[in-house]
Structure 1
């Protein structure tokens, strides 16, 4: 999604139009692809097993990580694709530091740009709704506890993935829950992470003061010169950042790399004892991440940075593996102390430098 630049003397409301998240959710639900066809009985069984697996995953994750000991174990929300779209449309405005416009509240939408942005957001939500197996959402409010943060699991996507991989369903569902519960533990044990992410995302979404034409020109120059391949596979959206936003981009990338790599490390540490077929699942899932996409999917993946996320798993896990092997998990957990103890972007591939600087 891009933001149209407004003249400097335009009213303040016009300079920062709200995204019509109500329109985004409505459109996203309409165009999202349906999940696998199953009976109601089968889907109820999947929901029940995922809810149970999300609770069973909590204790071993806490034991391996040494995080979140003694905190309440919340109930996961098991959703279909439309339910995930609604949940995302509610939480994304909070992540970007804005207000949600889901529902009947047209006063939140300042002008037609909000509707245009809402339509773009709806298409993105529809695409993502078929790709996400689960996530921990630190920006929404849990219905039961009233506290920030909810664990979301998208049942039809988990079912589709386990069928594609020919995985043992109970093993695959627990394996997914181990990953997502690790994210829940990361954020619940370190509440400052949500604000840190929100602050840096807000910096990224600030108006950079350049026109759409300037932005497109810079993207074309970057792609033609090969600079789009700097720092790995990053995605075209990241080329749109103005120079003053690049530090925030680096911090967001490092945080995402650390969170994903830590979760993969925990899955491998816990998996063999709890998931008998974990080696087969890991091999199949890694191949699934690397599989070729059709041209449209490749374009969308580049635009929203999904290939960067895939790279995060590999680089982040290598960082965590190396640090834990060298100093142990207790010393590694120093990384969660503050923004200053987060790895620098150059340290992700050189964990010894992080150890020397921080420990």
Structure 2
């Protein structure tokens, strides 16, 4: 890691926009060790086998018809930074940010903030389903950040092969959601664009923000449910350890998580999983999967707290 190089990248930020995205990537990678990606052929075959097994189990158990993304990558942290800088750039470029009276200083602050956020995430993300929102492409992707998976498995005192396989099941559930609901990408893109247009005009539409939150709560909650219901091994110990990790960390890590909104993401996991667990307990997994038939089947904010009302309306 090279903090001097990161500072230089940020302070040398240039261009016309509010963020220098090249500098963001350079700075994030300067403060983030790439991690070991020296995988044997057996290791790579194991990742591929886990992904295929997850696809087959989810298709069979949930009754969801979908295909895997064309792009499935085992990455180090720098690879993940490169992929996600492009995503952040596409989304935040929709925000017509006012750089104030001193645009150079504003650009430096914005660039440093984004580099900090992406660098922190690169050190913590285990896997990611990337629907490549706002890219105009149907080529979705699936990433596994191998150095983080290995490190966290050691930290949790978990068997790395079993832990990797469980993470694969979680990420493939997202492929199932977006594959079963071709409308989902457009739905999210529309909400994001509307929210950012309002923010650019110094407006805040609570309904759009709530719609994004409830949609992501459904996405994350269904993935958590399916991750556990379809996994072909014991998972209770992994679930307990991963939940503790999401809530834990030192005070600095907790502050970073709060600043990046990761506390909200954890609440989405928990609230969404509780909702779908209640639906499955009342009916079955196939009924829970009805959420992806059409946008109108997404639960409202009120229904997330009252699954019976959703069942009455949809099923």
- State the TM bucket, normalised to the shorter chain: 0.7 to 0.9
1:268-296 CA-partner distances (Å, limit 9, x unpaired) = 2112xx22x422212221222222x3332
Which residue of 336, 343, 346 maps to 2:299?
A: 343
Q: In the alignment, does 2:65 pair up with 1:68?
A: yes
Question: Partners in 2 of 1:282 and 1:252 — Cα distance?
Answer: 26
Question: Partners in 1 of 2:303 and 2:18 — Cα distance?
Answer: 37
**Structure 1 runs not aligned, ≥5 long:** 1-13, 100-110, 211-241
Which residue of 33, 37, 40 maps to 2:38?
A: 40
Task: Give the drift of 1:317.
Answer: 0.8
Conserved? CA contact 1:21–1:118, under 8 Å? yes
1:305-330 CA-partner distances (Å, limit 9, x unpaired) = 10111121211111111112223233
Question: Partners in 1 of 2:302 and 2:225 — Cα distance?
Answer: 20
DSSP 3-state at the match of 1:131 = coil
Aligned to 1:129: 122
Q: In the alignment, does 2:70 pair up with 1:79?
A: no
Q: In the alignment, does 2:158 pair up with 1:167?
A: yes
Question: Partners in 1 of 2:43 and 2:226 — Cα distance?
Answer: 24
Map 1:84-95; keep pairs closer than 5 Å.
Answer: 84-95=80-91
Greater Cα offset, 51-60 or 315-324: 51-60
DSSP 3-state at the match of 2:65 = coil
Conserved? CA contact 2:34–2:76, under 8 Å? no
Aligned to 1:286: 243
Shift of the 202–114 alpha-carbon distance from structure 1 to 2, 3 Å rule, reads: farther
Conserved? CA contact 1:47–1:155, under 8 Å? no
Shift of the 129–322 alpha-carbon distance from structure 1 to 2, 3 Å rule, reads: same
Aligned to 1:188: 179
Conserved? CA contact 1:141–1:150, under 8 Å? no
Task: Give the drift of 1:343.
Answer: 0.8
What RMSD in Å do the two structures reach over aligned CA positions? Answer: 2.7
Aligned to 2:266: 310
Aligned to 2:283: 327
Q: Taking structure 1 as the reference length, what is the TM-score of the superposition?
A: 0.73
Which residue of 106, 124, 143 maps to 1:152?
A: 143
Task: Give the drift of 1:256.
Answer: 1.4
Task: Give the drift of 1:209.
Answer: 4.2
Aligned to 2:220: 260
DSSP 3-state at the match of 1:166 = coil
Which residue of 98, 119, 133 maps to 2:112?
A: 119
